[in-house]
Amino acid sequence: MAAIEVRDLHKHYGDNHAVRGVSFDVRPGEVYALLGPNGAGKTTVVEILEGHRAATSGEVSVLGFDPSKAERDFRDRIGVVLQSSGVENEFTVREVLEIYGSAYRTRRSTEEVLQLTGLEAKADERVGSLSGGQRRRVDLALGIVGTPDLLFLDEPTTGFDPSARRLAWDLIEELGAGGTTVLLTTHYLDEAEHLADRVGVLAHGALIAEDTPSALIDGISGTVVSFQLPESIAPGDAVATFGPLIDAPVRVSGRLVEATVEHSTSVVQRLTGWAVEQDIELAGLSVTRASLEDVYLQLTDHDAHGDPTQEGTA
Ligand SMILES: Nc1ncnc2c1ncn2[C@@H]1O[C@H](COP(=O)(O)OP(=O)(O)O)[C@@H](O)[C@H]1O
Ligand SMILES: [Mg+2]
């Protein structure tokens, strides 16, 4: 049985059709990332699965439960890190872990959770005195204190500095390796690429692609060829000059010229042949495997209103 089953899920907020017929499964032990720009519907989907919002229509099953019933056995087996936390500011970190932990039948010790989340030094400080990133770690700590079989993480690392992010990644990887099923949302592509066994790309309330990160990268993108625009060529002439040589859509941003191509060898041969003939140096010429970011831009570029790299909540 799948850990999560979603069939033709719809959610309307008044006139806003925020989720438009989404279907996917998450297997037990899998780390699944819902990736998409702000407003795509990620939080709505996740909070329906947590039992925090009601679906307009569709079928959802989470660990075999109907989350809208909010049964004790269901709550006992899931951990939740909401996009925006609501932890009481006046308690210390240790106190909130004790309070929240006591709600679960099988809980991790406070010391273990403090250590897993790198909060040992902050244990006796009040939550209200912590930085945004530290408070997010408290959210993460509360998500895992009940030893969940299934953990929901809605943008878990937004606001983290690089070392805190690395720590959170290690923790999520460790949980995944230990058999915990994880449903994660993120707008950080490197996070999805690093952590997820599979990625579902959500845009405008619909799932527009779903696969392993490497299959998404292999299947959709090809190879990225890029170089600096030579001084002798005006930016306005870049597409006309390089389009025929590259034989794929050319992107120009500032002085960077870039294209995603299928057959990079012949493209590089044409480009370098042309450059040598013209006695032009193609500075910074590089040929790299496309990243999940390239896939994501291809998928969401032309129809997404949100800026996927933009921080914040929608
Ligand atoms: N509680 C709400 N009431 C009304 N509209 C909402 C509510 N929550 C989200 N929306 C709208 O639903 C759409 C999807 O939002 P959300 O699920 O938060 O997306 P994401 O998490 O991908 O940024 C957006 O257009 C948003 O404005
Ligand atoms: Mg959200």
Tell me which of 75-89, 173-187, 273-287 is least confident: 75-89
Is a pLDDT exceeding 90 seen at residue 78? Answer: yes
**Burial of 161: CB neighbours in 10 Å, binned 0-12, 13-18, 19+:** exposed
Tell how far the Cα of 82 is from the centroid of ligand 2, in angstroms. 9
Same domain, 228 and 211: no
Atom of ligand 1 nearest to the CA of 155: 21
Tell me which of 18-32, 113-127, 259-273, 287-301 is least confident: 287-301
CATH of the domain at 285: 3.30.70
Atom 14 of ligand 1: nearest residue by CA position: 41
**Burial of 123: CB neighbours in 10 Å, binned 0-12, 13-18, 19+:** middle
Same domain, 171 and 260: no
Atom 3 of ligand 1: nearest residue by CA position: 13
Does residue 82 have its Cβ closer than 6 Å to ligand 1?
no
Atom 25 of ligand 1: nearest residue by CA position: 39
Q: C-alpha angle 62/65/67, rounded to 5°? A: 75
Does residue 37 have its Cβ closer than 6 Å to ligand 1?
no
Same domain, 13 and 50: yes
Give pTM, 2 decimals: 0.79
Average pLDDT taken over every residue of the chain: 90
Does residue 314 have its Cβ closer than 6 Å to ligand 1?
yes
Q: Closest ligand to 84 CA?
A: 2
Indicate the top mutation candidate among 44, 46, 185, 311 to test ligand 1's pocket, ranked by most ligand atoms within 8 A of CB.
44
Is a pLDDT exceeding 90 seen at residue 262? Answer: no
Read off the pLDDT of residues 207-253 as tens digits, 9 standing for 90 and up: 999 999 888 877 665 788 999 999 999 999 999 999 999 998 899 98
Query: In which region does residue 73 sit, left (phi positive, over 0), alpha (psi from -120 to 50) or beta (all else)?
Result: alpha
Tell how far the Cα of 43 is from the centroid of ligand 2, in angstroms. 4
Read off the pLDDT of residues 273-308 as tens digits, 9 standing for 90 and up: 999 999 999 999 999 877 777 777 777 764 433 343
**Which of 172, 187, 217 is the last residue before a domain boundary?**
217
Task: Provide φ and ψ at 127, rounded to 5°.
Answer: -55, -35
As a whole number of angstroms, the distance between CA 128 and CA 258 comes to 46
**Which of 162, 196, 217 is the last residue before a domain boundary?**
217
Read off the pLDDT of residues 145-166 as tens digits, 9 standing for 90 and up: 999 999 999 999 887 888 888 8
pLDDT band of residue 189 (cuts 50, 70, 90) is confident
Per the structure, the count of domains in the chain is 2
Tell how far the Cα of 13 is from the centroid of ligand 1, in angstroms. 8
- At 312 the pLDDT is 38
Does residue 201 have its Cβ closer than 6 Å to ligand 1?
no
Same domain, 87 and 103: yes
pLDDT band of residue 37 (cuts 50, 70, 90) is confident
Same domain, 75 and 110: yes
CATH of the domain at 84: 3.40.50.300
306 in a structural domain: no
- Domain span including residue 102: 4-217
At what angle are helices 213-220 and 292-300 packed, to 10 degrees?
60
Atom of ligand 1 nearest to the CA of 38: 23
Tell how far the Cα of 157 is from the centroid of ligand 1, in angstroms. 19
Indicate the top mutation candidate among 11, 12, 16, 52 to test ligand 1's pocket, ranked by most ligand atoms within 8 A of CB.
16
